Amino acid sequence: MTKITKTLLLVILLLLASISQTKSQEVICSGGDYFKNNEGSVSFTIGEPVSDYFAVDKYWLTQGFQQSTLAIITNNKEEDKEISLSVFPNPTYDFIIISADYCDGLKYQLYSFNGNLLQQGDMVLTETKLTLSKFPPAIYVLRIIDNLDILSTYKIIKQ
């Protein structure tokens, strides 16, 4: 290959790569809107024919047309720790309860899906109730921590 052919092939490949990055999601729905300001943006649709989530063990699958990013949330448990944790009800409207075999040294942290720390505290009882009524309906991330080790991470859906 000549130098001109190699250069032309490189330019074509770069052009194709840049074009493939400009594709965006499109939704056919009965209604909805998009709002944006200096704080962020929000989009919503009305009449999505498919929108649901499924959970099997520690894996979550969400589906719907408003899934703009892929987020993988796992339930990370250390193998050497023998602790039983559960969080319920999920989805919720007003509160969640964190239930654990023991609570000595356990802490919780509640994050927005954007990663902002919203609430944290010590678990002083084997069942700790977190009130979520002051937060808007959204997806939140709950971490259970034992001496700086993340025992579990939960995806909390507030309706």
pLDDT digits (tens, 9 = 90+) for 92-151: 999 999 999 888 889 999 999 888 899 999 998 889 999 999 999 999 999 999 887 888
Q: What is the pLDDT of residue 149?
A: 83
d(CA 142, CA 135): 14
Please check whether residue 142 is in contact with residue 87, taking contact to mean a CB–CB distance below 8 angstroms.
yes
DSSP label of 14: H
pTM of the model: 0.51
Instruction: For residue 27, name the pLDDT band (cuts at 50, 70, 90).
Output: low
Instruction: For residue 57, name the pLDDT band (cuts at 50, 70, 90).
Output: low
Fold of 78-158: Immunoglobulin-like (2.60.40)
Does the pLDDT at position 88 exceed 80?
yes
Q: What percent of the chain has pLDDT over 90?
A: 29
Please check whether residue 136 is in contact with residue 62, taking contact to mean a CB–CB distance below 8 angstroms.
no
Place of tokens 């991470």: 153
